[in-house]
Amino acid sequence: MGIARLIDHTLLRPDARPDQVERLCADAVQWGFATVCVNSCYVPLCRRRMEGSSVMVCTVIGFPLGAMLREVKAAEAAAAVNLGADELDMVMNIGWFKAGADEMVVSDIHRVLDAAQKRPVKVIIETCLLTEEEKERATRLVMESGAAFVKTSTGFSAGGATAEDVMLLARVAAARIGVKAAGGIRDYATALKMIEAGATRIGTSSGVAIANEERNQGLKESRSQG
């Protein structure tokens, strides 16, 4: 399996236009990415464009801060599911978490899980804002909540994914849930490093460049062997 099937092909910029989302969808079908990941207003457009393909539609919930009311996150998740979202990437309430309000954090996740109606939910813990101990504790909370993935980053905070953080999350997750690396992954070498560290999904806006680089590298290797 090529790297494309591990990629959430992402366009979450605030200035993203419908024509750019159309291009995102076309690229995802061409390369066979796992999902297109967009803001919720573009879920209907992506749902139409993905009909008949294997590419799923992913959207973000409580993005990028995670500090919304629990009811608002749940409502956004329910609306996205009704519009055709296949997967949801929600942002953990980081302030509650750092204050030790673990029960409130888990309640927040559970409300989104309920609204997701058994669709995969990835919980973004924003690793760049956490200590090593907090990263471990956050991953355990995500596992205990019943979510499908723990995700490193929104890409909109002080830092993105690092191989060290992915390795830590994967060690704690112990293959019980997936690990999504996102934020700052712009080339094949970086994506491969994340996968080797334990990532089972890659979130990136550079999916085409990464998949194309993998293909070109494979062509070079086959020519050298020939």
Task: Based on the residue annotation, tell me whether 122 is a catalytic residue of this protein.
Answer: no
- Beta-carbon contacts of residue 141 (< 8 Å; ≥ 6 apart): 97, 102, 105, 106, 109
Active site residue 151: yes
Phi-psi region of 134 (alpha: psi -120 to 50; beta: other; left: phi over 0): alpha
Q: How crowded is residue 202: how many other Cβ atoms within 10 Å of its Cβ?
A: 28
Gyration radius of the chain over CA positions: 17
Q: Of residues 73, 122, 135, 151, which has the active-site annotation?
A: 151
Amino acid at residue number 102? D
CB of 143 within 8 A of CB of 109? Answer: no
Pair of tokens at residue 102: 């673990």
Neighbours of 196 (CB within 10 A): 11
C-alpha span between 82 and 78 (Å, rounded): 6
Name the active-site residue from 8, 86, 89, 165.
89
Residues identified as active-site = 89, 151, 180
